[in-house]
Amino acid sequence: MGQVTCLVWLGGKVKEDMQQLAFGTGRSFLIIFCQNCTNTAMVEIATMQVFAPSDPVEAVDYDIQTSHLAVNNVAATYKDIGTMLRFWASNVESDGNAYIASSICFYDSGCKLLIFILKTGEMICQDVKSGKEDWHKVLKSGVGHASISLDGQLLLIENLARGFDLYHLPCSSPSHSFSILTNKRCIKDGVFAEGSSVVVLKQGGKNTEVQTTISNKDCHLIASSSSLECSDIIIWEKLKQADNDKGHGTIIMVLNFLTILTIAYWSSGVWLPHTLKMAKVPNRYECHCDQHNTLQVHISNAGYSTWDPSSTQVHVGITDEDDEDEEMDEDGEWNSWIVWIHFENLCQPIMNANKY
């Protein structure tokens, strides 16, 4: 039957309580698997050869709302388990030349079908019922793979070069790019997951190149495979309860941090000295602590007009007011502390500061 070329979940109106998975092969077969009713195993329920053996299934997509299934540039309705009603088929042409449709995506609540051309980066919008072209745009790169978010506003493109580009439909210029390093020059799949809140750009091992996602009320699922011979299709599951637990853990960490800050504030009178006397300040800076234990530094050689927020390192000598004999170490030099002062919103320099 050939190598696996594409994957798509079939859900929605067909069987809401059973997960179905369809994948295309390099010898034009479309194979559908369904989850067993008694366990989690996937069993084959249908095998269809949709093209001539020399024409591979390059792309496949499914719309849950309308139960429409698109294979390459052929539209059909998936009526029941393993049966389809064909709508139309069309050749993708530009300037009289036929091109490969590398990816297809349903758009506008399943009423439109976006067809992406591999080398030219063209994006063609066709009406699902009639097959007529609505509009035509050219993206900034070729298209190895395309995926659309659930709300139909975001488009993820594998650009055949440096990774993935994110578009805001119907714009033809990317708003963000994701670099994915690879040693192989092959098409990589990227998909939206978890209600389109994240994008999955890499999954499984280094040879995993095909993937699709779906979410139900209990979990998020990712289906992965590769283009290697005798490769398996692997299902990855993430329980939604794990998302809630992660959120609860973050809240607990924040509450613990606030509790520590509160305890430190109320006990500051015990472990903070009430009075500090600045005995000597190198570099001719004058420092002193006020009654609230706030360090004030007056700088005599400030800059002019504007001052971007920055930090300044100041070495200060500190002595206890009750024991001024301990203000020098054994070598007769001042013991120094390093104090970092953060200056914010300073527009004018501090002038006429007192010097020693």
Per residue in 21-62, pLDDT (tens digit) is: 888 888 888 888 887 666 667 788 888 888 888 888 888 888
Beta-strand relationship, 219-226 and 286-289:
unpaired
Distance CA 90, CA 143 (A): 19
Distance CA 287, CA 310 (A): 19
pLDDT band at 187; cut points 50, 70, 90: low
Quote the pLDDT of residue 199: 63
Percent of the chain with pLDDT over 90: 1
Task: Answer yes or no: are the C-beta atoms of 212 and 232 closer than 8 Å.
Answer: no
Distance CA 89, CA 265 (A): 72
Residues ≥6 apart with Cβ < 8 Å to 343: 307, 309, 310, 311, 312
Residue 280 in tokens:
């000597």
Instruction: State the pTM of this model.
Output: 0.53
Distance CA 122, CA 172 (A): 10
Quote the pLDDT of residue 130: 83
CB atoms inside a 10 Å sphere around CB 295 = 15
Task: Answer yes or no: are the C-beta atoms of 57 and 90 closer than 8 Å.
Answer: no
Percent of the chain with pLDDT over 70: 51
Pick from 25-34, 49-58, 233-242, 329-338: least confident: 329-338
Residue 68 has pLDDT above 80, yes or no: yes
Distance CA 200, CA 221 (A): 12
Q: Which domains does the chain have, with CATH numbers?
A: 4-242 (2.130.10.10), 273-343 (no CATH)
pLDDT band at 181; cut points 50, 70, 90: low
Per residue in 304-315, pLDDT (tens digit) is: 333 344 444 444
Quote the pLDDT of residue 279: 36
Closest to 89 measured CA to CA, from 71, 106, 115: 71
Residue 356 in tokens:
């020693």
Residue 72 has pLDDT above 70, yes or no: yes
Residue 270 backbone dihedrals phi, psi, to 5 degrees: -85, -45
